[in-house]
Amino acid sequence: MYQIFVVEDELLIRQSICKVIEGMAGPYVLCGEASDGELALSMMQDLMPDIVLTDIRMPFLDGFELIRHVKDMMPWLKVAIISGYGDFEYAQRAITLGVDHYLLKPIRPAELVEVIEDMARRIDQDRQKRTLPGGYDTDEVQQALRQHFMQQLLYGGLHTSTLLEKARSLRLDVLKPLYQPVLFSFGAPVDHALLQISVRNLMERMELPLYCFSESNVLTVLLDGQDAQSLTERVYQFNAILRHEVQEVSPVITTVVGSIVQRLSAVGQAYHTASDLLKKVFGVSLGQVVDVNDAAQIVAEMIELGDPFGPAFQQKLQRVGMGEVEALVDEVLRSPEGSRFGSTLMRYYALVDLLKMTVQQVVKAGEDAGPDVKDVASRLSGEYDLLAASGTAEGFRDTAIDLIRRFVSLRREPRAQEETLGAMKYSHVISRAEKYVAENFCDPNISLISVARYVGLSAAHFSTIFSQSVGRSFISYLTAMRINRAKELLANTSMKLSAIAMEIGYNEPNYFSHVFRKSEGVTPKEYRNRTAAADRGV
């Protein structure tokens, strides 16, 4: 499948291009469209397209700047410029940026189809190079020696001077201001030979020689940078690129980001800490990105504080009736403190706490028979797959409700109040972002980039922690908020569709209708008519 994104500020031209793509036979999908470069950059970071068709002269961010940014984030991208300007200077700049095609308006549909099919063939050729042994020509012995050097660096034991000597003999520049190890665990089943070939070709293209497979399915990459902020941004961009490049070989990848260190001799300790964390969180945070510093803070809070729900919850738990359990859980999740459950680790810890509480209540309820605590715990653990349940917000909610109902049915004595759990490192960031979006989603210029800038993170970093905390991508979250507001206006007002589109942040009514139909399965007009008919009892 080839995902195609269209960037064009002229509505009629953009619509005609999209119509051609939607009418193409074969595995071609129009994954998104935007009217300017800044909005497109934000959306593409979530959608990860394969092909981009873009104009040059656009508001906020022109086509050349857009191409430069997306090529940094998505080096696999195939790009075609569709422009009304045929100046030699423009064409020369396009070549410099690695543009695959330069088309002049007006463009014929057959010509557009031909260009898209050509870029698809180039994508297939690139994929074949990434997965076939003949796709590289690096000396095998030299490559093996570099991987061996990386293992020695990670496992420690060698003096820095010895490491520097080995690096010089292998023509490796290893003296950098900052280092950061990143571990990637690839979910089974995986063709390990194909995976290693794909990774090797990617690392060569990106000129990143310091990597190795410590196990058949665990890749460690050592990234470097001049300062902590730029290095963090590079780590999250590389994570996105790697996931895209090997998605056909391994669709599920769990990432652990190690600590930033300043000394080459400290890389080994940073690696071991990250490796230990990977073993602990692999089953809980499958497919996610976990930062060593974040996890260390969460674990410390878990050890220090016994109750993830807080004392207010415990007070209500002693009085809540069976029919009020669901409302109690929802109240906790909607509260400001509910953001702590955006972490898979915290959800898992909370469910374990509820299970422990329920086990104790089962034992109390059967005091005369004297049930064994271990037997009860073993039986209940078999009934609830807490690892799987903590993987999603919905699974966490359902399992928490079930465990609390079980507790309430056996409740006898109130539990002692315990200290409340402190907020996690990024909970306040997500809360600020959600509040900002809620107040500004009607602004047509709001984007992932502008919100990331508001909370003080890079776009790549913010995109990752937002999707993991909220359970959906930023664009999906913003679109859902806009569509929900549109549904209210359609159902309760007589506003024109164009006015509603402007009200919720879409400058173009046709684009609003396209997004609405994609989300709800019906056009805005059909939704309004259906709602009106339901109100009349028709």
Assess contact for 340 and 308: CB atoms under 8 A.
Answer: yes
Cα gap 427→425, rounded to integer Å = 6
* Sheet of 51-54, strands arranged across: 28-34, 2-7, 51-54, 78-83, 101-104
- Segment 482-503 shows an average pLDDT of 92
Assess contact for 434 and 462: CB atoms under 8 A.
Answer: no
Is pLDDT above 60 for 536? yes
Q: Output the pLDDT for position 295.
A: 62
Segments making up each domain of the chain, as ranges: 2-129, 140-291, 306-410, 427-536
- Segment 299-317 shows an average pLDDT of 62
- Segment 187-206 shows an average pLDDT of 83
- Give the phi and the psi of residue 367 in degrees, each rounded to 5: -60, -40
DSSP 8-state assignment for residue 9: S
Assess contact for 264 and 270: CB atoms under 8 A.
Answer: no
Quickly state the pLDDT bin for 21 (edges 50, 70, 90). Answer: very high
User: Which CATH code is given to the segment(s) 140-291?
Assistant: 3.30.70.270
The CATH architecture assigned to 427-536 reads Orthogonal Bundle (1.10)
The 10s digit of each residue's pLDDT in 420-455 is 232 345 677 888 898 899 999 998 888 888 898 888
- Segment 339-348 shows an average pLDDT of 76
The crossing angle, in degrees rounded to 10, of helices 459-470 and 427-440 is 90
Q: Output the pLDDT for position 336.
A: 76
| Percent of the chain's residues with pLDDT above 70 | 84
List the one residue out of 107, 59, 111 whose CA is nearest residue 84: 107
The 10s digit of each residue's pLDDT in 215-263 is 668 999 999 999 988 898 889 889 988 988 888 888 889 899 999 999 8
Cα gap 53→7, rounded to integer Å = 6
Cβ-proximal residues to 28 (8 Å cutoff; 6+ apart), any chain: 1, 2, 4, 21, 116, 120
Comparing 322 with 115, which gets the higher pLDDT? 115
Q: Do 140-291 and 427-536 share a fold?
A: no
The 10s digit of each residue's pLDDT in 368-386 is 445 566 666 667 766 777 7
- Segment 110-133 shows an average pLDDT of 81
Long-range contacts of 227-230 (CB under 8 A, 24+ apart): 227/177, 227/178, 228/178, 228/260, 229/458
Is pLDDT above 80 for 214? no
Cβ-proximal residues to 126 (8 Å cutoff; 6+ apart), any chain: 76
Burial class (CB in 10 A: 0-12, 13-18, 19+), 145: middle
Quickly state the pLDDT bin for 304 (edges 50, 70, 90). Answer: very low
Residue 322 corresponds to which tokens in the numbers above?
């069976």
Q: Cα 27 to the chain's mean position, in Å?
A: 24
What is the distance between the terminal CA atoms of the chain, rounded to a whole angstrom? Answer: 43
Quickly state the pLDDT bin for 134 (edges 50, 70, 90). Answer: very low
Q: Output the pLDDT for position 4.
A: 93
Average pLDDT, the chain: 81
Quickly state the pLDDT bin for 131 (edges 50, 70, 90). Answer: low
Look at domain 2-129 and name its CATH class: alpha beta
